Amino acid sequence: MSLAKVGMHQTILYPLITEDAVALIETENKLVFVVNKKATKYDIKYAVESLYQVEVDKVNVLTTPQVLKKAFVRLNPKYQAANLAIKLGIL
């Protein structure tokens, strides 16, 4: 089931704020989000692009042992992850 029909706000649950996540923002232009367990990479890319008006180059996902699904979202070089993080209140 694609979550695009369900809604972007149910795809992206919240941004993840850890030391490692902040390091990824600064070094690799990536943001980390906790997402719905049923979300696909396409759903995540669509939701981030629509909600934050940025272009996404790549999405990687992993499921933690605590059964959280994390999405590592690399932004297009035209957009700075640090600027979006400030807008979201992460930095």
Boundaries of every domain in the chain: 8-88
Mean pLDDT over residues 26-53, rounded?
95
Give the mean model confidence (pLDDT) for residues 57-68.
95
Mean pLDDT on 65-88? 95
Nearest to 13 by CA among 62, 50, 47: 47
Average of pLDDT values for 54-62?
A: 97
| pLDDT reported for residue 90 | 85
The rounded distance, in Å, linking the Cα atoms of 48 and 26 is: 19
**Who has greater pLDDT, 10 or 24?**
24
Percent of the chain with pLDDT over 70: 91
Average pLDDT, the chain: 91
Domain 8-88 has CATH 3.30.70.330: yes
